[in-house]
């Protein structure tokens, strides 16, 4: 019986830890050539609860990790999920076919699964 009660007391703590890990999810992304640079649009979803826990940015990287541009999100989007924001003027070298998008939250940082975006032809 003691083992059972110990297990039951640990389960709620484990469930609480799993719930705390709430990375932003990149639902979709697209890039549009704007005659000299790219405009990247990213659709995110996250369980924003207010200023204490919200998706606060995303960035575009090369596949080897060089940061090409960062979009800061300055406020929570509690009632707007998922939501899309864009970043213009992203310089991506000719010949690059794919970029990586990473999302950030103010509680988890640059966590969660990256999104691989295949660029359309210019």
Average pLDDT over residues 16-39: 84
Does residue 3 register a pLDDT over 90?
Answer: no
CA 65 to each of CA 59, 60, 62: distance values in angstroms, whole numbers, following the listed order = 11, 9, 5
CA 64 to each of CA 42, 61, 67, 99: distance values in angstroms, whole numbers, following the listed order = 20, 8, 9, 9
pLDDT in tens, 4-14: 444 444 444 44
Question: Can you give the pLDDT at residue 21?
Answer: 65
Residue spans of alpha helices (H) in the chain:
2-20
Average pLDDT over residues 45-62: 95
The pTM (predicted TM-score) of the whole model is 0.81
Question: Can you give the pLDDT at residue 35?
Answer: 87
Q: For position 93, which CATH number holds?
A: 2.60.40.150
Name the domain count of the chain. 1
Average pLDDT over residues 90-105: 96
Does residue 20 register a pLDDT over 90?
Answer: no
Question: Residue 44 is part of which domain span?
Answer: 2-118
Question: Can you give the pLDDT at residue 39?
Answer: 98
């Amino acid at each position: 019986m003691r083992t059972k009660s110990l297990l039951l007391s640990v389960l709620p703590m484990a469930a609480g830890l799993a719930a705390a890990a709430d990375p932003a999810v990149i639902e979709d992304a697209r890039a549009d050539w704007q005659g000299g640079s790219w405009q990247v649009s990213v659709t995110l979803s996250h369980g924003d609860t207010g200023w204490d826990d919200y998706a606060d940015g995303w960035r575009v990287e090369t596949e080897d990790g060089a940061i090409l541009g960062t979009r800061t999100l300055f406020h929570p989007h509690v009632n707007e999920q998922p939501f899309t924001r864009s970043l213009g003027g992203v310089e991506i070298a000719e010949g690059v076919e794919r970029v990586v998008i990473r999302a950030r939250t103010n509680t988890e940082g640059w966590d969660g699964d990256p999104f691989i975006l295949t660029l359309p032809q210019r």
